[in-house]
A = this chain, B = another copy of it.
Amino acid sequence: MTVRTAVAGASGYAGGEVLRLLLGHPEVEIGALTAGGNAGARLGPLQPHLVPLADRVLVETTAETLAGHDVVFLALPHGHSGEIAAQLGPDTLVIDCGADHRLSNAQDWERWYGSAHAGHWPYGLPELPNGRDKLKGTKRVAVPGCYPTVSSLALAPAVEHGLITDDVVVVAVSGTSGAGKSLKTNLLGSEVMGSLSAYGVGGTHRHTPEIIQNLSAVAGRRVNVSFTPVLAPLPRGILATCTAPLTGTGNVREVYERAYADEPFVYLLPQDQWPTTAAVLGSNAVHIQVTVDEDLQRLVVVAAIDNLTKGTAGAAVQSMNIALGLPETAGLSTVGVAP
C-alpha cells in the first residue's frame, strides 16, 4: 500500500517535521507541498535538512493543489485550517496540525482564539483513555497542541484513577520551535540564548483550555489547571512539571505502569531516572517519571517530549497510521538523537 500525501505549510517548522517523518515512512509517497508567501520557491533553501526534497517547488495552498491525495497534512497558522479543510473531500484523510479543530466547545474557541469555531474533530492523542478508538477509520484528525500532549499524558492516569484533586499546577519549559518561524524580536537567537522567560502567564496561554478539556474528559468532571509556559534556550523539547495534591493512598507508580504498559511511545522511566528532552529529540517518545512529595502528600510528574515530533508531526503521523490501519509505529521511533 502506498499512501499519497500532501503537506500544506511545508516551509514552516511543523510542516518540515511532517516531511522529515514522511521521508522515513515505508508506505508513503510525498505529493504536493504547498505554502503561502513561499509559494513558487524551491524547498531546499527553506528546509535545508530535507535534502531529498530540495528541488521540489512549493505551490499555493488551495483545494486544487491539495486534491488527489489520500492524506493531507495541514500545518497552517491557527485559524486557517477550517476553510481549506471544508473544501477537501470526505474521503481524504485530513490531519490538522493547527488548533482549529481541537476544542469541542465553541464558546471556548471563541474566547481563546477570537474567531468562529471551525468544529471539533477526533483528537490525535491515542494514549488517552479510549483515544485510539476515536481515530480508527476517521477521515479527520485534530493534532493536539504540544503542551496539552505532554501535560495530558503526564496527568491522565492520576486523574483517571482519582489519585489527585482538581487543583493541578503545570509549569512547562519549552524550546523555541514551538513558536514557529515567526519573525518576532523575542525569538531572535540573541534574545533567546542565555535567557529564560515566562509568557502567557496567569492562565492566558491558549493551550490552557485544551489541557483542561483533556483532563476533564478523563475525570468526568471539571479539572482546574494552572498552566505556565516558560521559554528556554534550545530549539526543541518540552519538559513539563505537573503537580497536584494526592487524594488518598493509591499506588501511584503501579497506576502509571499499568496505564502505559502497552503504549509503544510512552516510556515510564525506571525509578530514580528523570526525563531529559535530549533523550527524546527527534523521536515520538514521551518519557515520564512520577513521584510523591511525602511531606506534602503531593503527586509530582515530570514528562518530556519533542514538541515538533510527539508534540506535533509525530502525533500527526501516528494518527494517520491508526486512521488508515497501518502499523501505528510506522515511520516513527522511540530513539532520540543525543547528545
Chain A positions within 8 Å of B, measured between CB atoms, are 13, 16, 20, 23-24, 42, 44-45, 47-52, 54, 167, 169, 171, 173, 175-177, 179, 181, 183-185, 187-199, 201-203, 224, 226, 228, 230, 232-239, 241, 243, 245, 267, 269-270, 273-283, 285, 287, 289, 291-296, 298, 300, 302, 304, 333-339
A80 CB to nearest B CB, Å: 20
The CB with the most chain B CB atoms within 10 A, among A13, A192, A292, A334, is that of A192
8 A–B contacts, CB within 8 A, in A order: A49-B281, A49-B338, A183-B184, A187-B190, A189-B191, A194-B236, A201-B291, A226-B293
Report how far A203 CA is from B52 CA in the complex, Å: 31
* Inter-chain contact B234/A44, CB cutoff 8 Å: no
Q: How far is the CA of A13 from the CA of B185 in the complex (A)?
A: 12
Bound-state CA distance A53–B238 (Å) is 23
> Given A167-B245, A339-B191, are A198 and B234 also a contact pair (CB < 8 Å)?
no
Instruction: Choose among B188, B228, B282 the residue that contacts A187 (Cβ–Cβ < 8 A).
Output: B188
> How many copies make up the complex?
4
Contact B334 A52 (CB under 8 A): yes
Asked whether A296 lies within 8 Å of B226 as measured between CB atoms, the reply is: yes
Q: Which of B167, B239, B292, B334 contacts A197 (CB 8 A)?
A: B239
Interface centre among A49, A232, A333, by most chain B C-beta atoms within 10 angstroms, is A49
- Chain B residues with CB under 8 Å of A274's CB are 197-199, 201
Closest Cβ neighbor of A192 among chain B residues: B189
Q: A191-B339, A226-B300 are in contact. Are A49 and B197 (CB under 8 A)?
A: no
Nearest first, the 4 A-B pairs at minimum CB distance are A189-B192, A49-B336, A195-B278, A171-B171
Q: Is B302 a contact partner of A335 (Cβ separation < 8 A)? A: no
Chain B nearest CB from A177 CB (Å) reads 5
| Smallest Cβ-Cβ distance to A239: which chain B residue | B196
Q: Which residues of B contact A270 (CB under 8 A)?
A: 42, 44-45, 54
Q: Is the CB of A193 within 8 A of B196?
A: no
How many angstroms from the CA of A84 to the CA of B290 in the assembled complex?
A: 41
A152 to B187, CA, bound (A): 30
Interface centre among A274, A292, A334 (most CB of B within 10 A): A274
Contact across chains for A337 and B281 when beta carbons are under 8 A apart? yes
Contacts of A275 in B (CB 8 A): 197-198
Please tell me if the beta carbons of B189 and A285 are within 8 angstroms of each other in the complex. no
Contact (Cβ within 8 A) A202 B235: no
- A13 contacts across to B, CB distance below 8 A: 190, 339
Asked if B282 and A337 sit within 8 Å, CB to CB, the answer is yes
Question: Are B278 and A203 touching (Cβ within 8 A)?
Answer: no
